[in-house]
Structure 1
């Protein structure tokens, strides 16, 4: 069974990939189940009702929830006999936005939620705004401290997305971020296991030319050693090229090498375990 549990469409502000095209491309690629996880980033983006009320710009908006879920329902009706389709979202959570996500989850019936950290104090990693004025050890520590705070205070999610995402944007100078932060990483993993949550293996490393896994084999191995079982695999696709370049089976085999025997899909926010 091949599943892609991290996909983006034109409902995310960083993609123009039409949902139906994504589904057809997934079917052609041999994917059996797909979960749409378009972006919600409170703190820097507003909801569509704010825009419609004239209180926000159209350029910085979260998912149009009503249209998004309606479109997924249409796709399930049209393609449900060819591929299983699930309703998800990717939350770019920050400490000061937790209550916004708690309110959002209470409004809609979701199958799956990724909690990601894309920025801290509204400062993005890709732009370098967050890292500015900090040494590499300093910004990695702040990053993992924020992650630990979030997993202890926000619980309306299923997996922690691309756990060491910040390495996409680091100095790539040989700094061993795992060894330097192993203590806090272990605290995070222990907490999410106790909380019934999991992590994802993010397959976008091929897209970004990163030679290691995301999260790293060290993090994945530690998670496995600590008893972590809940894990999903996602392409983090934003285009047809992203879907085509990711070989989900390859990442399933990487998990097997580490010792994992299962991966997860989700329904109504509950994990379903499948043999790798």
Structure 2
């Protein structure tokens, strides 16, 4: 199995890559399966049908390839699921295309995601549980870290994940679990200092029948380790975790499937996993590494 389970398209507010381009590139690369997981970030973004309307921002020309005004909005769900159906009809004889979303959830937005999942659960194969902000304070901008010590913001990040996953169960895997490493200007916080908290998160995930992902964007972000780290991957395995997906987090076709096979090698040869997972209708399907 060669699968990319974290992909973005024009339906994510931070991508302008057309879904067709991602699909064609995946076929060219020989992927067996791909799953689109476009962004939903309640709290900092609105739905397209929100009566207040959506917000707009000036493009930076970096993430989206354009400096024009960009919508700051969640997925346009009807158009998104219709486009996925069209892609499956057009290319389904060459590649399996799964339907997912990336939930950028927080404890203060759980009710929004409960409503969203209830409405579209029949359309979904896969859901990423991601945390991109806490109390609507984003990590990339340093809003969340500002005014806190490295210990304080690292502990607060993991505590918020645990708090949220205890009450929200409609997801498949925990995405880029140590995401904060990407944006920690103080360097990599010692794993030993958060190990017990991370272990509690992993035990909760295992108890709930959930998995974790290896996010291969760590390579192009220049991180020193995998994401999550090898320490977290080993701990998940030691605790009895079995469900692992691998995704590139590609917002551009140039990063699609980037280092997926390297991640497979690490999981198999360094950590000792024997399988990876794909998903269909929110249920894991296991494949030998």
Q: TM-score range by the shorter chain?
A: over 0.9
Q: CA deviation at 1:242?
A: 1.1
Q: CA deviation at 1:29?
A: 1.4
Q: CA deviation at 1:215?
A: 0.3
Match of 1:56 in 2: 54
1:268/1:200 CA distance change after superposition, 3 Å = same
Q: 3-state DSSP class of the match of 1:21?
A: helix
**Aligned match of 2:198 in 185, 193, 198?**
185
Structure 1 unpaired stretches of 5+: none
CA distance in 1, matches of 2:97, 2:18: 15
For residues 56-98 of structure 1, give each alpha carbon's deviation from its aligned partner in whole angstroms, at most 9, with x where no partner exists: 3352210000000000000000000100000000000011100
**Aligned match of 1:132 in 124, 139, 146?**
146
Match of 1:106 in 2: 118
Match of 2:20 in 1: 20
Superposition TM-score, scaled by structure 2 size: 0.92
Q: CA deviation at 1:207?
A: 1.5
CA distance in 2, matches of 1:40, 1:56: 13
Pairwise CA RMSD: 1.1
Superposition TM-score, scaled by structure 1 size: 0.96
CA distance in 1, matches of 2:52, 2:161: 34
For residues 37-64 of structure 1, give each alpha carbon's deviation from its aligned partner in whole angstroms, at most 9, with x where no partner exists: 00000001111111xx453335221000
CA distance in 2, matches of 1:232, 1:75: 22
Q: CA deviation at 1:195?
A: 0.5
CA distance in 2, matches of 1:14, 1:254: 29
Any residues of structure 2 matched to 1:1-276 within 5 Å, and which?
1-50=1-50, 53=51, 55-58=53-56, 59-108=71-120, 109=122, 110-173=124-187, 175-176=189-190, 178-243=191-256, 246-256=258-268, 257-276=270-289
Structure 2 unpaired stretches of 5+: 57-70
* Paired residues of 1:136 and 1:171 also in contact (CA < 8 A): no
